Every structure is written in structure tokens, then in C-alpha cells.
Structure 1
């Protein structure tokens, strides 16, 4: 039986209701679906597994993988809600003990509400035209000054420059630039309308020069995730 997904808005984030029988063959599709939810950068993702049965316990690893990615970026809590008794027993095993598990969505929302991110953020919509890169640098500079992080102006501006340049040079779509301050990191993310993955091209093939090599060298970590109709490329800087 294929896994069924119903995604809806919740006052505290996104509610993802799963039903069906979870097997190892479902892990790839489920991971991609949850990554697309994270790419929307909600305050929290409530994964409702009340209607899910697990025939292969190792398949539960998908939730640990998604939670680890969420901790790196965008800093969104991912919580499991309403597991059946057999599934809860499986989740008590060592590989899954760090996952947040609640009896239902209401209990999860109440708990998440006590430590909701409510982190400052700054975003802008950019057209793929002359001036977009300069505006990206200006937004990065404004964010760093607003949040009293003057030492991050140079690397944040460089990362914003390169990520927006990549959209203009390769994707040629609208770009959404978003900077967010987390407890330990400043994150810079750019969403575009191309599903082509970013590629590091060292040497002369790097186009404008060094492209993503500069991002990789400047950031604490970086990566990308697919979205509906595009992707998000993100990078984080240690505060």
C-alpha cells in the first residue's frame, strides 16, 4: 500500500498527515516530501503518523534524517504525533530516541509553542536582472547591521551575491532571498524556480569565477533542498 500524504496549515506550522504502510521502498519519496515541507520554512512540522503502520522498523530512519536536516537548516522543529502502540515501541529503540514524539498534534503544538523559533528574519523578492546581486548584498548588509553582527557582513554579502548570481546566470527565474538569525547561526537562503541541482564547477568551468566554491569556503555548512517547482540553496555562518 502506498503512503498517502495530506499537508495542511496549522496555527503553529505545517501538519503532515501520513497513512498507509511504511516500508523501506517508501523512504525516498517520504524524505523528499518532508524536505519540500521544510523548504517552506514553517515554524514547525507536525508529522501525524496516527494512520501509519510500520512493517519494516528500519524505515523509521527517514524521520531521523529529516530531523537532522531541519536542525541544520531551516531550524524547524520536526515532531512525530500520534504513533500507534507498536510504532511507539519501535521509536523507543536507540536510533530514534532523540526524535520528538507526542501523543497528538495538539500536545505537540503546545510544547513547540513554548520554544517556537520566533527568530528575526529578513527577505526580498529579486528579479533576474541587473541590480539583483547588488540588492542581495544590500539586504545581507542590512540584516547583519540590524542584528548587530558586523563581523558577518562580508561573508553574508558574498554568499548572498553568489547564490543570487547563480539564479540569474543559470535558473533565470525570480529569486527569494531570506536571511534568518538562529541561536548559533546566521542562515542565507535563496529559492528559485529551477529544479536543476546546484553544481560546484572548479577551475575555468566555474563561470563567474569561483561560484559555489566561495560559498563552500565561507560558510559553516551549506546545501540545497527541492521545493514544489524549484529548489532552495542555503548556507549558514557561525554567529
Structure 2
């Protein structure tokens, strides 16, 4: 995968680091997560933050590339094992494939500490990518290709209607239509490229959710903007307003670099009833 800039990592446009990179494949919903440099407290914080954000996106899998990580004492092992355990407990489960040299101290320690049912080690990223991409295929998934036109939001709302009807998630429809409209309009206005909308179901029963993803060909990640003072007081302009609407309607949202562009995602799930 390529992301245009090897130093770019983000979701909501709020994070930059030169030692961690996460890139999502819009076709397979697999994230490739790479860490490089010497393992220390700063890198640990960066990696943990990025990994938490990747799991929040609820991808179909995560390939963790540790070939360029210098961790001679395997101090980072608990982080990767915890992430694997958390991912395996998600519904549907998320496979995390760890890529590192078989004779490295980190590989030896993880093998010694890790449970065999959810710790998967691979020698190369290509092997891990092939294995993870085919392991958990999302059964409920719809996609739609759209032109860079704000009017395309109507078609995206129609796709949400179809998904909610087919999957019995009509109670999520109103907020999901609002979210997908804002994401498509933002992509049309600010990216100006072809757009792809991908909708998939997450979980089942009362915990079921809709995962909405909008892919465009612009490498620039979206960024929330601060209110701007005007003659009528503070106001929100451009993309900042749309993203705040998304943040209010969705349970979680974010953005990741993708091949030749970016993917902005949001998860809409039922909200607890207020007594």
C-alpha cells in the first residue's frame, strides 16, 4: 500500500508522527500498521494511540509490520498481545497479523507469552496481507461508485436505505443517512475526485451497527476547524461544520490514508434510551 507521504498518519486529521504509519485498503478493509525506530516511551505512546484508533475503525484485519522496529529487549510485546486479544473479542472479530523476523527477541517473547488461538506471526507483510484479507470477509457489505457531485449524496442515502432494510437496521437509518450525506458532500466539495461509498454491518442483535466509509482520491485528511468569529458571532465554515454534524450523529468516526487517496469512516449504532 502507498499513502503518498511516508510520514502521514491520521484520523480526523489530528495526529502526525514520523515513526508510525497506518494505511487502509478500501477494498479489503485491512489496515497496514507500521512502526519503526527505537522503542521508547514516546514511540510506545504513539503506537498505542494509533492502534487504538485503528481498532475503533473496526477493520476486517490489521497487518502489523515490526520489521523496522528496534526492540532488543522485547519491551513492546505486551502492547501487541493486548491488541490481538482485544481484536479477537470484537464482533465480528478482527484478525491482527504480526510481521517480524522469526529469530528476533520480540517474536520469541510473543510466542512464549501469546495464546495460540489469536496470536498470528508472519515472516513477510505480503504473506500476512494475503492471509488476513481472506480470513474474515464481511458478509453484509454494499458499495456504490459516485461522481464528484454534491447531488450524489442522494444516491448514498438511497444505499443506506437499502442496507437498513436488508439488514433490519431501520432504527439507524435517520442518523446514517445524515452522516453519509455529510461525508459524500465533503468528498465532492474538497476532494473533487470519484467517490466510493462502502456500507457494512458490524455486530448483531442490539449491538448491531452500520459502518459507513467514503473513499476519495485526495490524500489530504479531513481536519476539524475551530469556530470563526463573524458579524453574527462564532460560526462554523466549510468542512468543519459537516464533520461536527458527523461527530454528533455517529458513535465514532475518523480517517485513514488509503491507496491513492483516503477513507473517511463513521460507525452508527443504537443509542441507549434516556429514562
TM range, normalised to the smaller chain?
A: 0.5 to 0.7
Contact kept, 8 Å, 2:193 with 2:216, in 1: the verdict is yes
Quick check: 193-202 or 143-152, which moved more?
193-202
Do residues 157 (structure 1) and 181 (structure 2) align? no
Partner of 1:196: 221
Q: Which moved more, 1:138-147 or 1:192-201?
A: 192-201
Q: Give the direction of change, closer, same or farther, for the CA distance of 1:185–1:54 in structure 2 (3 Å limit).
A: same
Partner of 1:87: 106
8 Å Cα contact 1:22-1:55 kept in structure 2: no
Among 171, 185, 198, the alignment partner of 2:209 is: 185
CA contact (8 A) 1:124 1:178 kept: yes
Matched, 1:238 2:238: no
Query: What is the alpha-carbon root mean square deviation over aligned residues?
Result: 5.1
1:206 Cα deviation from its structure 2 partner = 2.9
CA contact (8 A) 1:15 1:48 kept: no
CA distance in 2, matches of 1:84, 1:52: 14
With structure 1 as the length reference, what TM-score do the two structures score?
A: 0.66
Q: Distance in 2 between matches of 1:190 and 1:16?
A: 18
Alignment of 1:35-54 (within 5 A): 43-47=60-64, 54=71
TM-score normalized by the length of structure 2? 0.59
Residue segments in structure 1 that go unaligned for 5+ positions in a row:
4-8
User: Which aligned pairs between 1:1-239 and structure 2 lie closer than 5 A?
Assistant: 23-24=39-40, 43-47=60-64, 54-55=71-72, 57-59=74-76, 63=80, 76-80=94-98, 83-84=102-103, 86-88=105-107, 90-91=109-110, 100-102=118-120, 104=122, 116-183=136-203, 184-194=208-218, 195-202=220-227, 204-207=235-238, 210-238=241-269
- Return the alpha-carbon distance in structure 1 between the equivalents of residues 63 and 81 of structure 2: 14
> Deviation digits for residues 123-158 of structure 1, max 9, x if unmatched?
111111252111111111111111111111111111
> CA separation of 1:88/1:124 partners in 2, compared to 1, >3 Å: closer, same or farther?
same
Measure the CA separation in 1 of the matches of 2:253 and 2:147.
23
- How many residues are aligned here? 227
